[in-house]
């Protein structure tokens, strides 16, 4: 949570010299909050709140994309999907996750 000093509007602060330490402190708070957010140490987003528009079908957020990918992988590994010979499956890191080569 952003903790800004809002006491800068008062009778005691009459000059820029008096005002600047408060403003500087607020700028530092904003920068620290931003840095913590970007580094992931605070104010994190839940995966279901991050929109997704990639190649995993049926996913509109990151959590659904990961869950759908894992479910498809599990179904393939445990045999509930059609089994394919390993020599016919190639991995493509860009675009599709796997492609049948026949």
> 55 and 95: one domain?
yes
Model's pTM, two decimal places?
Answer: 0.47
pLDDT interval class at 21 (50, 70, 90):
confident
Residue 40: pLDDT above 70?
yes
- Domain enclosing residue 87, as ranges: 48-100
Q: How many domains does the chain have?
A: 2
Q: Tell the burial category of 27 from Cβ atoms under 10 Å away from its Cβ (0-12, 13-18, 19+).
A: exposed
If asked whether residues 40 and 73 sit together in one domain, one would say no
Tell me how far CA of residue 27 lies from CA of 3, 16, 97, in angstroms.
11, 15, 44
Q: Are 38 and 54 in the same domain?
A: no
**Statement to judge: residues 36 and 73 lie in one domain:** no
Same domain for 36 and 63?
Answer: no
Verify that 40 and 58 share a domain, yes or no.
no
State yes or no: pLDDT of 101 exceeds 70.
no
């Amino acid at each position: 949570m952003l903790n800004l000093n809002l006491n800068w509007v008062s009778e005691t602060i009459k000059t820029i010299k008096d005002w600047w330490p408060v403003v500087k402190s607020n700028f530092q708070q904003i920068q620290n909050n931003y840095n913590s957010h970007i580094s992931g140490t605070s104010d994190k987003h839940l995966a279901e709140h991050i929109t997704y528009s990639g190649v995993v079908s049926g996913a509109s957020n990151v959590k659904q994309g990961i869950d759908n990918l894992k479910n498809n992988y599990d179904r393939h590994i445990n045999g509930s999907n059609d089994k394919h010979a390993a020599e016919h499956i190639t991995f493509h890191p860009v675009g599709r996750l796997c492609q049948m080569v026949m």
